[in-house]
């Protein structure tokens, strides 16, 4: 009885959380629209378009490559090959995690994670960034977006195969763990496992979405 009440309370919290998330997304979109107007740019088919005069002014403020390199700390220059050496492992991860979800998720009936919703590369279009700064922004946008994309793929895998909470608190656990069965709750596991496994009500889009 007590477990049923706890579960009911948790379900209510999850519903409120999803409603709050939708409200947050709406507010973020409103703020982004205000910022686009404030900084004089628009989005057309995912491409950033600055007003011509603003673009020209920002280009004039761009730091030249030689000046940028001359002022850069020597430690930054020497460590840059190590930083960019990660592109190989990241690229392989990108390929393999995409192959994995396109094969396994289709078999299991799990909605595919939309890669483009996580990997966003647009900061290199800022006119006031020089070539090196633009390259850095592309690299960071790709790397962080890829990890977010990978995390969601693995989170959906965990929900399907092992929706059980850990006994110890984990730092920054993904939000899907909220619906997982409590550690040691055998009755809850037997009763709710299949329900949790197939609960994809929070996902959007087609199962065959890229």
Per-residue pLDDT of the chain (210 residues; tens, 9 = 90+): 555 565 567 677 777 777 787 777 788 777 767 766 677 676 676 677 766 776 677 777 788 888 888 899 999 999 999 999 999 999 999 999 999 999 999 999 999 999 999 999 988 888 889 999 999 999 999 999 999 999 999 999 999 999 999 998 888 888 899 889 999 999 989 999 999 999 998 886 444 454
pLDDT of residue 7: 59
DSSP at 164: B
5 domain residue, yes or no? no
95 domain residue, yes or no? yes
Burial class (CB in 10 A: 0-12, 13-18, 19+), 134: middle
What tokens appear for 107 in the block? 């078999």
Say whether 44 sits in a helix, a strand or coil. Answer: strand
Say whether 41 sits in a helix, a strand or coil. Answer: strand
Burial class (CB in 10 A: 0-12, 13-18, 19+), 126: middle
Q: Which residues pair with 181 in a beta bridge?
A: 164
Residue ranges making up the domain that contains 133: 73-197
148 domain residue, yes or no? yes
Q: Measuring CA to CA, how many Å separate 32 from each of 29, 42, 59, 77?
A: 5, 10, 23, 34
pLDDT of residue 3: 56
169 domain residue, yes or no? yes
63 domain residue, yes or no? no
Domains in the chain: how many in total?
Answer: 1
């Amino acid at each position: 009885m007590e477990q049923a009440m706890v579960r009911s309370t948790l379900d209510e919290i999850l519903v409120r959380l999803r409603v709050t998330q939708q409200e947050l997304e709406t507010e973020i979109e409103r703020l982004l629209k205000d910022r686009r107007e404030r900084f004089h740019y628009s989005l057309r088919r995912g491409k950033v378009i600055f007003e011509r005069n603003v673009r020209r002014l920002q280009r004039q403020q761009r730091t030249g490559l030689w000046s940028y390199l001359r002022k850069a700390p020597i430690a930054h220059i020497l460590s840059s090959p190590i930083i960019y050496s990660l592109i190989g492992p990241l690229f392989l991860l990108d390929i393999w995690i995409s192959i994995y979800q396109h094969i396994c998720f289709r078999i299991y009936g799990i909605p595919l994670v939309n890669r483009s919703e996580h990997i966003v590369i647009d900061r290199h279009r800022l006119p006031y960034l020089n070539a090196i700064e633009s390259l850095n922004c592309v690299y960071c946008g790709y790397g962080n977006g890829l990890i977010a994309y990978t995390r969601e793929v693995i989170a959906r895998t965990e929900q399907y195969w092992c929706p059980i909470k850990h006994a110890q608190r984990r730092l920054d656990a993904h939000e899907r763990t909220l619906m997982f069965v409590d550690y040691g709750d055998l009755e809850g596991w037997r009763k709710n496992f299949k329900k949790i496994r197939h609960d994809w009500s929070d996902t959007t889009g087609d199962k065959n979405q890229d």
